Amino acid sequence: MLDRRTFLRATSAAMALTAAAPALSLATVMEPASEQWPRRVNHLLGKTLIPHAPRRVVAISTGQLDGLLTLGLVPVGVTRVDNHELTPGYLQKAFPEQREALAQITDLGGRGSPDIETLAQLAPDLILLNKTALKFNGYQLYSRIAPTVVTRGYGANWRHDFLIIANALGRAHEAHNWLARLDSDMQRFASSQGSRPPTVSFLFASGPRLRLMCRGSLVGGLSDALNLARPHAQQFKGNSLDISPERLDMADADWLFYADQGSGLASLKKQPLWNYLEAVRNRRAIRIDADAFYLNAGPSACRHIVDTLTDTVRPI
């Protein structure tokens, strides 16, 4: 008899493969035959002419900073998320050789209202930003300063966004190789899973709030592609779901990954139901980095997630 979990796992693996395929073929279409300059780059809001290989790049979102560093280029300016460092900790750890260069990046202020004057003074030759960071007339404004390329943002689009960035830099080839390595590592782990793979769950304690990261999130998509199962209480799509402390047991799984922000850790450990979770009792609740897992969407964040999951999760 085909049980429900096996069926879901099979379909999600198939979905993960088909999801990867169109992204690759789309990128192949975008990729010019050779790395010629000037070139036109397709992106979310149209085509942008880039006259020469960009050297001085401004990244408005962390996902783009992540993508640039993954391709070996340190931007000249980035914005910051309130309350966070200019370069999130996981990126500083992933690129120790760039430590000094990262310290030289110009702070362009909060993500909601980048300091346009400072940005213009940097004289960038490429501006990268997410559609979500665009305000009224923002694209026209940025385009007057430098060629501007817009990506979609949000977890599930990271692959597509990465390829757009790579294409704008003329480094599509490197990006494809990088993705191929990640995919083969994921494939190896996914195919090593037996017929009853362990379940995983992703919890985010932001202050006193508890949030489950669902299958539509970055980490959810990656764990699906790794053939890891979700517990019965988490068989829903969508990005995330806020849960009441009374329902903390919805977060239970064979392996529970949790991250915190603000006073989140203290408030999570204080929850009366925390010690009722099987994962906590069996010491399979693992604290993770919120920046890499939940808050940013970029290739190196994905690499961090995949490495953490494949190193940690064992059949039980």
Partner 1 sequence: MNDRPSPVIADTTASPAISFPWRALLTALALCSLLLIVILASLSLGARDMSSHHVVDLLMAPDSSADSVVIWQMRLPRTVLGLLVGAALGLAGTLIQALTRNPLADPGLLGINSGAAFAVVVGLSLFGIDDAGVRLAAALGGSAFCAVLVYILGGSSNGKNQHTRLVLAGVAISVSLGACTGIITLFDSAVFDSYRFWAVGALNSPPPGLYSVLLPVIGLGAVIALSLGGKLNALALGDDLALALGAQPVQVRALSFLAITLLCGSATAAAGPIGFVGLVVPHALRLLVGQDWRWIMWLSPLAGAALVLVSDILGRLIVLPGELEVGIVCALIGTPVLLGLIIHFSRRSR
Residues that bind partner 1 (CB under 8 A): 82-83, 206-209, 241-247, 249-250, 261-263, 266-267, 270, 272-273, 276
Task: Identify the CA nearest to 76 among candidates 89, 86, 84.
Answer: 86
The beta strands (E) that lie in 4-71 are given as: 39-43, 46-50, 57-59
Instruction: Specify the amino acid at residue 157.
Output: N
Which CB atom, from 201 or from 267, has the smaller least distance to partner 1? 267
Q: Which amino acid is at 281?
A: R
Of the pair 103, 266, the CB lying nearest partner 1 is at 266
How does strand 209-213 pair with strand 200-206?
antiparallel
- Min dist CB 272 to partner 1, Å, is 4
* Least Å from the CB of residue 235 to partner 1: 14
Nearest residue (CB) to partner 1, 37 versus 276: 276
Strand partners, 199: 229
Q: Considering the complex, what minimum distance in angstroms separates the CB of residue 217 from partner 1?
A: 16
Nearer Cβ to partner 1 (38/262) = 262
The strand pairing partners of 242, in sequence order, are 211
Per-residue tokens: 223: 């764990």
**C-beta of 84: minimal distance to partner 1 in Å?**
8
Taking the C-alpha atoms of residue 81 and residue 291, their distance in angstroms, rounded to an integer, is: 11
Q: Which is nearer to partner 1, 145 or 241 (CB)?
A: 241
Count CB-CB contacts under 10 A for residue 96.
8
Instruction: Output the smallest distance, CB 211 to partner 1, in A.
Output: 8
Which residue's CB is nearer to partner 1, number 182 or number 280?
280
- State how far the Cα of 126 lies from the Cα of 37, in Å rounded to an integer: 14
- Which residue number, 34 or 83, has a Cβ lying nearer to partner 1? 83
User: Shortest distance, CB of residue 110 to partner 1, whole angstroms?
Assistant: 9
Nearer to partner 1 by Cβ, of 225 and 250: the residue is 250
Residue 275 gets which letter from DSSP? G
For residue 258, give the nearest of 205, 214, 308, 219 by alpha carbon: 205
Distance of alpha carbon 84 from alpha carbon 294, whole angstroms: 14
| Nearest CA-CA partner of 137 in 158, 119, 116, 152 | 116
Helices (H) and strands (E) in the chain, counts: 13, 12
Do the bridges between strand 77-80 and strand 106-110 make them parallel or antiparallel, or are there none, so unpaired? parallel
